[in-house]
A and B are shown apart, each in its own frame.
Chain A
């Protein structure tokens, strides 16, 4: 909060209005997202929590431009990304995605991976991009691994490098789809600290999908609880824990209360999802 310049804060406001997504409307006709609206201020950490397979990723994919929406509109800083006239947003480096299973190119070293964005966008020459990538990886504590391939480093390091690969493009929004899902609790803690540190430094808007309620409250400014499929906004919980945050806050009374509040909302949906026999998305 302290380091954030006021100018940076305005960038990256996402406005999701009445978005509906129906897969294969003439065939199977699955409604993944139904009339979902959210406002995400620039520089906010927005956590999306909901049962498995509820359509959270669908929403993220629509923002990223991976697929179209059926109804509604999404704006970024007042600019139309997708809407009635333009069902599918263009993919762009202003909205960077960090994938659930990790999508660093296994055939490039960490440094080459990070340098890839600025090089193909022709923002920097190949050499400049490699220099900057090396520097940014070193800042993220990956200095000794720049020449390693993703298959040679731990999943935590790979994920951290993937976030660096996103940030080197100065995105307006960082879209994270359960990035720490497969990690053990201890690694997760380290990843949280590093993400918070990154956020405090850059103030980038973060759209973060998760199942982990403690993670949601610990990282987020707002926690949006969404319903089981079709995905709708159920409840928004504001997290007013001051930044920079540390792990000690997790044991505070305020944190417990928030956790309970979010848990109540999510539990109801989880039960509904379970009874509907939703298939767990592995």
Chain B
């Protein structure tokens, strides 16, 4: 505490790196928040256990409870075939992650520029926006037959479906991001002698970034759930396939393991996107910090 108060007074010697990290951790564990999180998780797990294993409530007794799952998950000889010690588990994860990387990369690479151009130029928007708005509400599952007809193999349709869903989100957010930029920045840039291209590079792109990254966080989530849907319908490997396959073979534990794994990986991938956004938008983070957020 003495350390933090001295650093407050002496503006030149701000804590950095590890010291700053420790200071923040110290502060965090003095607040009630982390303990609430732990208590919350414990409560949910307990409720789950009570329903499935403790009291064996009707119909919940068909589901594997937390004890059964963790027994299998961390076992070298899993009863139902999937654990952290089986190669198969990692194969499924790797395939799904590869597909997500590819689909998310493709959707971002296409969606961000398209959205920016749509926000920047009225005529590009007039050409493209109505089509996007018509295609966007079509549920991703409705695209499944078409994508199987259109693309060969297992990989093609699955990636197409995951890309499509996140592409719409990304495009729309990038466009709204441009719309959100205050008119005065465009005027100021005009005054300062910018060409149209300068304005695109120095005003449109950075100004839309906060929206773009909000969009990307949603889009990676959307990519995961459309990927899993696609893997369930037309797949050979992957976590979505694992869930359906386990269900078909009447082994419920791998099904739940795959679900929880999806949750963790999804969480981690959003966190990565968020971290990248914060790194690219130091100005935005500092601005929010200044407002006490």
A interface residue numbers (CB < 8 A to B): 64-66, 91-93, 95-97, 99, 101, 103-108, 116-117, 120-121, 149-152, 165-166, 169
Contact = CB atoms under 8 A, between A and B. Distances in A.
B281 interface: yes
Given A66-B187, A103-B185, A120-B202, 10 more contacts: A65-B190, A99-B184, A103-B182, A105-B188, A108-B202, A120-B194, A149-B286, A150-B283, A166-B191, A169-B193
Nearest to A162: B188
A238 B190 CA distance: 33
B192 to A, nearest CB: 4
A95 B281 CA distance: 31
Interface of B: 182, 184-185, 187-195, 198, 202-203, 206-207, 209, 281-284, 286-287, 290
A149 B288 CA distance: 12
B264 to A, nearest CB: 33
Lowest 4 A-B CB distances belong to which pairs? A151-B287, A107-B206, A91-B190, A121-B193
A149 to B, nearest CB: 4
8 contacts: A66-B190, A91-B191, A93-B192, A103-B182, A106-B283, A106-B284, A107-B207, A116-B202
Nearest to B184: A103
B187 A97 contact: yes
B189 to A, nearest CB: 8
Given A91-B190, A107-B207, A107-B209, A120 B283 contact: no
A117 B182 CA distance: 19
A149 B282 contact: yes
Between B184, B193, B194, B287, the greatest number of chain A beta carbons within 10 A of the residue's beta carbon is seen for B193
Given A66-B187, A97-B188, A152 B209 contact: no
Contacts of B290: 151-152
Contact of A120 (B195, B281, B284, B287): B195
B214 to A, nearest CB: 16
B187 A152 contact: no
B285 to A, nearest CB: 9
Contacts, number: 79
Nearest to B207: A107
Contacts of B189: 105, 116
Between A65, A66, A91, the greatest number of chain B beta carbons within 10 A of the residue's beta carbon is seen for A91
Nearest to A92: B193
A101 B184 contact: yes
Contacts of B185: 103, 105
Nearest to B197: A120
Between A91, A107, A149, A165, the greatest number of chain B beta carbons within 10 A of the residue's beta carbon is seen for A107
A105 B203 contact: yes
Given A105-B206, A151-B286, A95 B191 contact: yes
A103 B189 CA distance: 9
A103 B175 CA distance: 21
Nearest to A105: B185
Contacts of A120: 192-195, 198, 202
Given A97-B187, A101-B184, A103-B185, A169 B283 contact: no
A270 to B, nearest CB: 27
A175 to B, nearest CB: 9
A116 B198 CA distance: 10
A99 B191 CA distance: 11
A56 B262 CA distance: 59
Contacts of B193: 92-93, 117, 120-121, 169
Contacts of B209: 107
A151 B281 CA distance: 12
Given A91-B191, A120-B198, A152 B287 contact: yes
Contacts of A117: 192-193
A92 B190 CA distance: 7
A169 B192 CA distance: 8
Between B185, B188, B287, the greatest number of chain A beta carbons within 10 A of the residue's beta carbon is seen for B188
Nearest to A149: B283
Contact of A105 (B195, B202, B281, B282): B202
B187 A64 contact: yes
Nearest to A123: B193
